[in-house]
Amino acid sequence: MSLNNATVSQRIVIAVDLDYFFAQCEEVRRPELKDKPVVVCVYSGRTDTSGAVSTANYMARGLGVKSGIPIMTAKKILVKHPEAIFLPVDHEYYDSVSERVMQIVRGTSPLFEQVSIDEAFVDVSSISHSDFDLAGNIAKNLKKEILTEEKLTCSIGVGPNKLIAKMGADYKKPDGLTILPPEKVNSFLKDLPVGKLIGIGAKTEKKMEALGIGTIYDLSNFGANVLAEHFGKNLGPHFKRIAQGIDNDPVSPRPIEQLSRIITLKQDANSFSFEDQIRPLVTDLSKRLQALKLKAKVIGIIAITSELKTKNRAKTLESSTDSYDEILMISRTLFHDFFNSGQDHETNRIRRAGIRVSGLEKTTEEFRKEGVKSEQQGTLTNFLGA
Ligand code: TTP
Ligand code: MG
C-alpha cells in the first residue's frame, strides 16, 4: 500500500536560474553600476575590442545587447550611452559567488543537481509532501534567502519535472516565479513557439517550421512517424514527448568537485604579506568542508596578477584534510614558493588571492553512514521482493 502511494505521489521539481549572472555579480560588488548598461566581455586580446559579450544586465539587453555578439557590435549599439560599462569576465569571482548560492539552494534538499554555474534543480517532492502550494512557498523562501544573503535575484520555475520547471524559470525573467502544477502544463505549453522547448535550437525550429509546426501544441499533435523520419527514430519521438510536457529524467545529485574562495587584496602584493586577509578564507573553507563532511586531497592557491593573469599552484596531500591549520600552512608555503619562484618580482605582483580545495573525499564517518544506508536499502528491497 505504502509502496503504491510512493509510486503515484506527485514529483515536484524546482529549477533555479540566476538572472544576468555575471553582470549581476558585477553590480553586487559595485552597486553604482546598477542604473547603467553593464556588458561583461570575453576579450580575445587581439585588439582592445576583439572578443564576444558574455552577458549583459537587463538595461543593456533592453538596448539590444545579447550574449554572444561581438564586443564591437555591443559598442556600436551603446554608442549613445557613454555611461555604459564594459568589464572583462572574472571567473574566479563568479565561481565563488555561485558556490555560495548553490550552498543555499542545496540547503533546500540534498536531492540537488547543479547544471551550470548559475542553474540548479532541486527535487522537493518529499519536503513539500507533493503539494504545489507548499513547493511554491519553498521557492519563495529560497528567492528571499538568495536575495538577503547574496543580494542576487533569480528566476524559479516549479513543475512536475525538470523540463517544465526549467521552462517555468525561463518564462518570466528577471526575478520571476512560475508555478506549474500538472493541470496547468498543457495550457502553459500550447501557444509557445516550439523554439521555447528546452533542447530545440534554432536549426531544429527552422526545420519544424518547414513542416508546418509553429507552436508546441502543433508538435505535440504531430505524427510520431513523420517526426522520426525527419529527426531520427530517437529524437523525433523525444520531441513529441517533450511537447507533451513529459520528462522522466530524475534530479541526480552530483558530487562536489572543488571549493574555492578568493579576495581582492587591500593593495597589490609581491610577497606573502597578506596572510591576515587569507585567514578568513581558510576558516570559511575548512567550515564548509566540515559541514559537507568532505576532506580535500589537494590544496591550491589562486593568484591573479596586476595584469589580470590567473596563476594556480597546488599540492597533493598524502591524506586528505579539512583542518584550518593544515590548509593555512600549505597555502602559506605555496604562496611563499610562488613569490620566490618568479624571475622578476614584477610579474608575480598580484591583485587578488584565493584558496581552492579539490580532490574532495567523503570523511570515513560519512562512508560508514552510507554503508549502513545501503545495507538498509538492501534489506528493504529484499523484504519487498519476498
Ligand atoms: P545564462 O543563465 O544563460 O544567462 P544569464 O544568467 O546571463 O541571463 P538570464 O537572466 O537570461 O539567466 O548564463 C549564465 C552565465 O553564463 C552568464 O551570466 C554568462 C555566461 N554565458 C556566457 O559566457 N556566454 C553565453 O553565451 C551565455 C548564454 C552565458
Ligand atoms: Mg542565468
Pick the atom of ligand 1 nearest to 24's CA.
18
Mean pLDDT, to the nearest integer, of 88-94?
91
The residue annotated as part of the active site, out of 26, 27, 113, 119, is 119
Would you state the cell numbers that stand for residue 224, as one nine-digit string?
510520431
What percent of the chain stands above pLDDT 70? 91
Summarize pLDDT for 115-148 with one digit per residue, the tens. 999 999 999 999 999 999 999 999 999 999 999 9
Summarize pLDDT for 327-355 with one digit per residue, the tens. 999 999 999 999 998 665 557 899 999 99
CA atoms in the 13 A half-sphere facing the CB of 316? 2
Q: Is 40 helix (H, G, I), strand (E, B) or coil?
A: strand
DSSP state of 248: -
Write down the pLDDT at residue 135: 98
Contact 222/213 with Cβ under 8 angstroms?
Answer: yes
Q: Reply yes or no on whether the pLDDT at 49 is more than 70.
A: yes
β-partners of residue 154 are 18
- Measured distance CA(262)–CA(62) in Å, rounded: 32
- Measured distance CA(103)–CA(112) in Å, rounded: 10
Write down the pLDDT at residue 364: 73
Pick the atom of ligand 1 nearest to 56's CA.
7
pLDDT band at 188 (very low <50, low <70, confident <90, very high): very high
Q: Reply yes or no on whether the pLDDT at 229 is more than 70.
A: yes
Residues having CB within 6 Å of any atom of ligand 1: 17-22, 54-55, 67-68, 117-118, 173-174
Q: What is the largest CA-CA distance in the chain?
A: 75
Would you state the cell numbers that stand for residue 4, as one nine-digit string?
503504491
Residue 229 is among the residues annotated as catalytic for this protein? no
CA atoms in the 13 A half-sphere facing the CB of 82? 0
Pocket test for ligand 1, best of 20, 53, 67, 73 (most atoms within 8 A of CB): 67
- Measured distance CA(29)–CA(134) in Å, rounded: 34
